[in-house]
Chains A and B, each alone.
Chain A
Amino acid sequence: MSGKLYVSRSRSVAARKLGDEMLIMSGRDSTLFTLDEVATILWEAADGGNPLDQIVDEKICREFDVERGEAMQDAEALVRGLADHGILQISNEPFGAPDVPGLVER
């Protein structure tokens, strides 16, 4: 165990960016979710290869005026919530190839 948390977008979902939000349709039960701007950044960075703390450092803390500990706590709660809905996978080890090819932005 590395102690780090790796996150990867689930293969079963459908997703598209709408404005600054991400629309995600669960493959499990067709439930529709939306992610706000910050959650969308995390989602887009969830390629399975980079640990969550690195994503938070590089994508959140550099872009937003937020304290790192707080950002990390929020991010972890978010990814665990998304994992509960089956739209994100989490692991203490890096995933292989990304589950979903890079999302398309308008």
Chain B
Amino acid sequence: MSSLMAEMSAKALELGVPLSAQIDLTYRCNERCVHCYLDHDDHGEMTTGEIKKLLDELASAGVLFLTLSGGEILLRKDFFEILEYARGLSFCVKLKTNAILIREAEAERIRTLNVDSIQVSIYSHRPEIHDAITKVPGSLKRSLAAIRFLKAQELKVIVADVLMRQNAADYPRVRALASELGAEFTLDPTITPKMDGDRSILGLNAGETALHQVFRDQDLVGNVEEFCAPPSKAGADDFEVLPCSAGHTACYISPYGDVYPCVQFPLPSGNVRRTPFLEIWRHSKALQEVRSIRVGDLTSCSHCDHLTSCTRCPGLAYMEGNMRGPSVQDCEKSFARTGIPSKNLLSKRQLNPELVQIQGFRTSAAVA
């Protein structure tokens, strides 16, 4: 984060302004990714008018960075009407899409609307792996073609990969592919539970060996020695730190108008169909509770060696049953990074050794 961005984020926090928001326009999708956390049925999406009203409210509340995501955003017939309206309100718009429905005309329209960036999900350079993950034959070819259309318009494209058992060995080639296409690359090493709490897809997580490798990839993490160094001892100030921006300067709104602190933190905080956004943002008891939490309040993590460097996600902790608790997946990442088990992993090991066996990594050759 640039120093100016950090300064503005601090100011937004001080003023209670939601600088960033993500709206999932739909949960419907034309792919069926094995790791997806959403229910793709339409349970009554917001209408065009409702979304425009919400955008007005978000602009009034001070949101600058607006992410439009899904589901697949281009499945909404009113997608470009919504996008045009959002840009008319001067949002910095970022799109997340599988891009299957983007051809020359759509890419050109996106460019004329001055979208900041388009994030496209690519899970492998190999069609047999990518298409098996999306469950749509030909999807890699179509997504890559779309990226070329977008790049022909000189748009900023980010290739987003998710590390899973199926594709763990492929990310260097996906990164190289992104570079060839003139796109940026990002890798998410975490599979998240479904929004309804179903944790069955967590078995897709790549496992310790793959995480160990990823965290020692200089191209991804920069200075490996620094990144994987044992955590430093916590000082008094570290206990006053906010866990993350979710609910503080960022929020999420579902296709049905539900407001959550973050897409990964499905804590019901209100619904914009019943209550104006700003009223929810300022007065929701759920959001106020999230805002009240400091690192020092975290039940296990505040006594953990990893306190100063852990990437603990409060949403994942919430999905595990306690927003003040640890998130096992982040404990596993801290362990893979430093080789030092977290307090939470040690506690679980004492209770039941089998619970902390980090799943062995099946080699890519075995799953390819």
Where the two chains meet, the residues of B that have a C-beta atom closer than 8 Å to any C-beta of A are 2, 4-5, 8, 11-12, 15, 17, 19, 56, 59-64, 88-93, 114, 116-117, 156
A44-67 contacts to B, CB under 8 A, are none
Q: Is the beta-carbon distance between A34 and B8 smaller than 8 angstroms? A: yes
CA distance A18 to B4 in the complex (A): 13
Q: Please report the number of residue pairs spanning A and B whose Cβ atoms sit closer than 8 angstroms.
A: 63
Chain A residues touching B, range: 20 to 34
CA distance A16 to B196 in the complex (A): 35
Pick the interface stretch among A68-76, A77-85, A88-96, A97-105.
Answer: A97-105
Query: A38 at the A/B interface (Cβ < 8 Å)?
Result: no
Which of A11, A18, A21 lies in contact with B114, CB distance below 8 A? A11
Which of B4, B11, B156 lies in contact with A32, CB distance below 8 A? B4
A-B contact pairs, 18 of them (CB 8 A): A14-B90, A14-B114, A14-B116, A15-B90, A16-B63, A18-B64, A19-B11, A23-B8, A23-B64, A32-B2, A32-B5, A34-B8, A100-B90, A101-B88, A101-B89, A104-B56, A104-B60, A104-B89
Which of B2, B17, B88, B117 lies in contact with A18, CB distance below 8 A? B17
9 closest A-B pairs (Cβ-Cβ)? A14-B92, A16-B64, A104-B59, A12-B114, A25-B92, A27-B114, A15-B90, A101-B88, A106-B62
Kindly list chain B residues whose C-beta atoms are within 8 Å of the C-beta of A106. 17, 60-62
Most buried by A among B11, B90, B156: B90
Contacts A11-B114, A12-B114, A18-B8 aside, 16 further interface pairs with beta carbons under 8 A come to A15-B64, A16-B59, A16-B62, A16-B90, A19-B11, A21-B11, A23-B8, A25-B116, A27-B114, A30-B116, A30-B117, A100-B88, A101-B88, A101-B89, A104-B59, A106-B62
